[in-house]
Structure 1
Amino acid sequence: MAPRTAVVSGGTRGIGLALSLRLADLGHHVYALYRGDKAAADRAAAAGGGRIEPVRLDVARPERVREGCARILAAGGAPSVLVNNAGVNRDRPFLDLDDEDWDEVLAVNLSGPFRLTRALAPAMRAAGGGTIVNIGATTAIRPRTGGANYCAAKAGLLQLTKCLALELAPDIRVNALLPGFTDTPEVVERYRLDDPARRADVLRTIPARRIGTAQEVADALEFLVAAKSDYVTGQQIVVDGGNFMG
């Protein structure tokens, strides 16, 4: 039997790599999309042992999404899983944000999932259905200083998740997964978690008193793509050690 196909945007680094590896372990052939870091893509392919196939694709460019998804469908057929994980930050105080800061963050974090889903969902539905998981952030439901563009994009992604869950049902389930502080190089650098005093300040806000791991985010993804979650759609699952309780 041919392996099931999965597509993970931003799937070669950080949380995205953990998600790609978990889907590969579950028996999927994973097309891991990346924008430009070829070295990270090569490492992901090696770590996947032939089950992860990096595909260079900038989700912010509509023509690249159309062309790349057409190639994926021709090579691997309709995916049973789509994970919209690609993201970018351009943090600035609101009055210092320029058009490029705003447009790039919205293009990757919100328009990217829209375009990938639009390109792949018809084939998924025609093949009998599947699961879409949008990777959000707790800043979608709790604002932070300096992140108006990112927070707005992630908040929009939550509403897109719910709209897709309504319109693609019953064939395709759509949910959002919201990681909190997660121990990846990008998060450590952005929040200065390598500074013991700064890390201690952050830990005081987390009831679990520790930073999460990418594997714990992958655990939640595993639930959302499994048959055990067949009655779960249009929902958001927060994985943050209790840092946010809405």
Structure 2
Amino acid sequence: MSPLLPPSTTGPAPRPAVLITGSATGIGAACAREFARQGWNVVITHLDAATADEAQQVARDCEAVGATTLVQALDVGDDAACRAVAATAVARLGGLQVLVNSAGTTRFVPHEDLDALDAAEFQRTSQVNLVGPWQMTRACREALSASGQGAVVNISSIGGVLGRGSSLAYAASKGALNTLTLGLARALAPAIRVNAIAPGFVDGGLPSRVLDAAQHGAVLARQQQASVLGRVSQAEEVAALAWFVAARAPGMTGAVLLMDNGLHLNAG
């Protein structure tokens, strides 16, 4: 009589899950599609009704390659909303391995025009670009830690390294996000890795949503000329790096990765 065999354990492993803020458009949407292509389930968040249809299209794109998706409205500046979305994601997807903080905001204000940048704009920008990632990381900490492979990827900007960009408020918020990345990497180790990506100008990124076509084209041309590689990045390039940092770089934490086509080399 043959001995009893244990149940088969050769079936497919459960799909890991990623929560991506600001993922209806731009870099966040590209991240959602990239993680889905790599076999992940995806939580897609959007600010309000203005981007709800775009978020649903991203979800359909992810589902077309086999992902389970969850679409949630989220203002990352609202701590209660951050906690609620994190809890819903864990309940619906059974856990959470990665958080990508991609939600961002800016307005184009010349750096030399100090009177055009008031405290309200500083606070608005910082609430989304700095406080938002802090609140989302805190909201997801327990689930990320429990996963055994937790990682946070913050989408920063070369502006936070060089003190340049769309406005001083934006550059300052991204510089602070880089510092937050270092502090969280220490505080959350060894359970959770925390890194940041600092792109230069990204075609299809945040500027495309706050500039008209002529302004966007002019800025794009200037950025191409200023970078040593003579090009700007695409959102899909940033997404590919975000996935690699989250899923294939277990020894990397506390890093701010410049992805600016060499723009920083001409900053002197």
TM-score relative to the length of structure 2: 0.84
Provide the residue aligned with 1:209 in structure 2.
230
1:168 shift after superposition? 0.9
| Contact 1:83-1:135 within 8 A present in 2 as well | yes
Provide the residue aligned with 2:130 in structure 1.
110
Provide the residue aligned with 2:182 in structure 1.
162
Q: Is residue 2:85 matched to residue 1:68?
A: yes
Q: Cα 1:102–1:194, aligned 2, differ >3 Å: closer, same or farther?
A: same
1:146 shift after superposition? 5.9
Q: Cα 1:109–1:155, aligned 2, differ >3 Å: closer, same or farther?
A: same
After superposition, the C-alpha distances for 1:196-216 in whole angstroms (9 at most, x for unaligned) are xx5443322111111211111
Q: Which runs of 4+ in 1 moved over 4 A?
A: none
1:38 corresponds to which of 27, 52, 60: 52
Q: Is residue 2:177 matched to residue 1:192?
A: no
After superposition, the C-alpha distances for 1:128-154 in whole angstroms (9 at most, x for unaligned) are 231110000001011237612111111
| Contact 1:32-1:55 within 8 A present in 2 as well | yes
Provide the residue aligned with 1:237 in structure 2.
257
| Contact 2:158-2:198 within 8 A present in 1 as well | yes
After superposition, the C-alpha distances for 1:25-71 in whole angstroms (9 at most, x for unaligned) are 11111101110111211211122126243211110111111222221
Secondary structure of 2:36's counterpart equals helix
Q: Cα 1:146–1:180, aligned 2, differ >3 Å: closer, same or farther?
A: closer
Provide the residue aligned with 2:241 in structure 1.
220
1:127 shift after superposition? 2.8
1:20 shift after superposition? 0.8
Secondary structure of 2:203's counterpart equals coil
Secondary structure of 2:100's counterpart equals strand
Provide the residue aligned with 1:26 in structure 2.
38
What amino acid maps onto 1:23 in structure 2? F
What amino acid maps onto 2:217 in structure 1? D
| Contact 1:12-1:40 within 8 A present in 2 as well | yes
| Contact 2:159-2:165 within 8 A present in 1 as well | no
| Contact 2:196-2:257 within 8 A present in 1 as well | yes
The answer for unaligned runs of 5 or more in structure 1 is none
| Contact 1:130-1:171 within 8 A present in 2 as well | yes
CA distance in 1, matches of 2:86, 2:23: 15
After superposition, the C-alpha distances for 1:99-139 in whole angstroms (9 at most, x for unaligned) are 33122111110000000100111221123231110000001
CA distance in 2, matches of 1:30, 1:94: 41
Q: Cα 1:101–1:84, aligned 2, differ >3 Å: closer, same or farther?
A: same
Provide the residue aligned with 1:143 in structure 2.
163
CA distance in 1, matches of 2:29, 2:222: 28
Q: Is residue 2:62 matched to residue 1:48?
A: yes
Q: Cα 1:155–1:122, aligned 2, differ >3 Å: closer, same or farther?
A: same
Q: What is the total number of aligned residue pairs between the two structures?
A: 243
Provide the residue aligned with 1:58 in structure 2.
75
TM-score relative to the length of structure 1: 0.91
The answer for unaligned runs of 5 or more in structure 2 is 1-12
Q: Cα 1:145–1:18, aligned 2, differ >3 Å: closer, same or farther?
A: closer
1:233 shift after superposition? 0.7
The alignment-based identity, stated in percent, is 30
1:243 shift after superposition? 0.9
